[in-house]
Structure 1
Amino acid sequence: MSFIILTTGLSWYDKLVEKIPEGQLFSWRAVFDAIPDLLGHLPTTLGLTLAGAFFGLILALVFAIVKINRPKVLYPIQAVFVSFLRGTPILVQLMLTYYGIPLFLKFLKLKYGFDWNINAIPASVFAVTAFAFNEAAYTSETIRAAIQAVNVGEIEAARSLGMTSFQVYRRVIIPNAAVIATPTLINSLIGLTKGTSLAFNAGIVEMFAQAQILGGSDYRYFERYISVALVYWVISIIIEQIGRLIEKKMAIDTPKISQDTITGDIR
């Protein structure tokens, strides 16, 4: 936010950019001139990322628990649903969500007479829904592996103290699994941040959409794409560094079984 204020509220950045030579085939001035405009849409990108990650993490935990316990009714549904999410492109899922949810709500409105304005639902709701389910489909495997890597002795000790299954998950399994899964979850967050660039297909003006708008105004598409690539690169580096600080704070010492099972992004 402070960078946005400095680059838009003061003239120093504009003066600095004006000193960059304007090329005919390629212009570095166009690259850096676009950055303040792109940062103006950074809150939209971060909002989609954080909301998708939050709801995706909750869904992933549910999917992981269902896969571990394998209830007769829920497990087949979860298996088919996750297989569909992992077997189809995120862009297709975004379009299915963008057009499918309003169609489903319209059906409920006609059948049950619900009085709501479907057109008033912001496009960001559909985008977050698609990102959350897609993220959950992949992250659930990370969480499942992390849960199964928790020391069985700690789980048995908790049960011997009279804890219920819910208490065992809340006090023992989830805290330990979170420590194991954190490095991979940080990588997933970086991937989700980059994936939000698809939100422009749902009419959301985030950073990538703004880059396209700027490119269309002067046909400097290549320069604008370099601008947005630099911004995404810096954001990814920041998230990675924050992840390392979290790992040090939590004193993460991932067991070998966890490293063999969950390291890397399976996407």
Structure 2
Amino acid sequence: MGTIFDWGYIWKSLPEILVYLPVTLEIALSSMFFGLILGLITALVKIYRIPVLKQFAALYISFIRGTPLLVQIYLAYYGIPKVLEYMEIAYHWHLSVNNVAPIVFVVFACAVNLGAYLSETIRASIESVDRGQVEAAYSIGMTTLQTMKRIILPQALVVALPNFGNIFLSIIKDTSLAFIVSVVEIMGQAKIIGSRGLRFFEVYIAVSLIYWVVCVVFGKGISLLEERLRKYERRAIG
């Protein structure tokens, strides 16, 4: 009769699970990168109230906030191939879904999800910048782009960084959903190892330790970056 709990299985599983840590980080970092771009564009559309686009931005944010990430991954995984198939038939674009790796759909869904949440953080951070500084920049001949780049964004980044950090840590954990569309990351590998030895509890402890350590490391890095930015801001003001 086997033991009820096997400590050795945890330590044995850790190296096998860690092999797929780069996949988890690739999904998280890529999603965050594209999500920041999408979030910035959406935030600027709302701030400058661009006709038509502001309605689309509001609808986009409402839809993403009102649906689970799991559903959004399924929509991307099953919906994008339908769009590519239509484009191929209607416009002869020769787009084959067979050449698209499943991880692309996961990154797309996660980036779109992050873009909605990041846009509100970015918008609030930009609007927190003193309007007098913006007007002063315009008065000395700076363009809107120069003002945004040199005055607004550096200050907004300091305000937004804590929220960016929290959102990034959340997406690291949300990458565990990637296995539902056959992308093997650390959670997917844990399920495979668990089913192989019927030691699901042990491997889930192992994968939880990995998530914990990764989030602690990135959380500490974000805190250090935030501290450095605040010191730089204080020196600039002084």
TM tier, smaller: over 0.9
The within-5 A match list for 1:191-210 is: 191-210=170-189
Which segment drifts farther, 46-55 or 63-72?
63-72
Q: Tell me if the contact between 1:42 and 1:207 (Cα under 8 Å) persists in the aligned partners.
A: yes
Structure 2, gaps ≥5 residues long:
234-238
Structure 1 residue 117: Cα displacement:
2.4
* Aligned counterpart in structure 1 of residue 166 of structure 2, from 179, 187, 190: 187
The superposition leaves residues 172-206 of structure 1 with CA deviations (integer Å, 9 ceiling, x where unpaired) of 11111011111110111100100011001111000
Q: Tell me if the contact between 1:27 and 1:223 (Cα under 8 Å) persists in the aligned partners.
A: yes
Q: Tell me if the contact between 2:11 and 2:206 (Cα under 8 Å) persists in the aligned partners.
A: yes
In the other structure, the counterpart of 1:30 is 9
SS of the residue 1:251 aligns to: helix
Structure 1 residue 85: Cα displacement:
0.5
Distance change (3 Å), C-alpha of 1:102 and 1:252? farther
The within-5 A match list for 1:1-267 is: 24-251=3-230
Runs of 4+ in 1 over 3 A off after TM superposition: none
Q: Distance in 2 between matches of 1:116 and 1:133?
A: 22
Structure 1 residue 130: Cα displacement:
0.3
- Percent of aligned pairs with the same amino acid: 43
Q: Distance in 1 between matches of 2:45 and 2:63?
A: 16
Cα root mean square deviation, aligned: 1.4
Q: TM-score, normalised by structure 1?
A: 0.84
Q: TM-score, normalised by structure 2?
A: 0.94
Q: Distance in 2 between matches of 1:168 and 1:73?
A: 25
Structure 1 residue 124: Cα displacement:
1.0
Q: Tell me if the contact between 1:82 and 1:137 (Cα under 8 Å) persists in the aligned partners.
A: yes
Paired AA for residue 162 in structure 2: P
In the other structure, the counterpart of 2:236 is none
The superposition leaves residues 114-138 of structure 1 with CA deviations (integer Å, 9 ceiling, x where unpaired) of 1232211011111000000101111
Q: Distance in 2 between matches of 1:160 and 1:28?
A: 68
Q: Distance in 1 between matches of 2:224 and 2:26?
A: 22
Q: Distance in 2 between matches of 1:205 and 1:73?
A: 40
Q: Tell me if the contact between 2:85 and 2:95 (Cα under 8 Å) persists in the aligned partners.
A: no
Structure 1 residue 253: Cα displacement:
9.7
Structure 1 residue 30: Cα displacement:
1.1
Equivalent pairs counted in the alignment come to: 232
